[in-house]
């Protein structure tokens, strides 16, 4: 699986509203320098990076602004869950993430 990158408007069902976040689904742990470059290219407040969910629980998630890594981002977590559910990349009705600041469930 190649990395897949999405832009999601969190907190809305209306295009070009809400709070945009980048979401990058990775097949394995990403290189931090590469993730920082992708976040700078996306130029959104945050871009979330998550491993492909198969056989991982909780999923490792990291967040980058265009300038640096941050320990937690709520709207990027919700955006990531939206993509995982929408694309059929997870089973069940709850996704567990592990971020630098701790565990999150969506």
Report d(CA 41, CA 38) in Å as an integer: 5
- Concerning whether 91 is annotated as a catalytic residue, the answer is no
Which member of 41, 46, 87, 100 is catalytic? 46
How many residues does the structure list for the chain?
A: 106
Which among 38, 51, 35, 100 is positioned nearest to 73, based on CA atoms? Answer: 100
Residues designated as active site = 46
């Amino acid at each position: 699986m190649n990395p897949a990158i999405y832009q999601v408007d969190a907190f809305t069902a209306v295009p070009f509203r809400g709070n945009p976040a980048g979401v990058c689904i990775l097949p394995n742990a990403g290189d931090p320098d590469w993730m920082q470059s992708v976040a700078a290219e996306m130029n959104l407040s945050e871009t979330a990076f998550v491993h492909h969910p198969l056989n991982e629980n909780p999923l490792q998630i990291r967040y980058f602004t265009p300038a640096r890594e941050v320990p937690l981002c709520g709207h990027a977590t919700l955006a990531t869950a939206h993509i995982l559910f929408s694309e059929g990349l997870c089973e069940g009705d709850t996704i567990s993430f592990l971020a630098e600041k701790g565990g999150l469930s969506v």
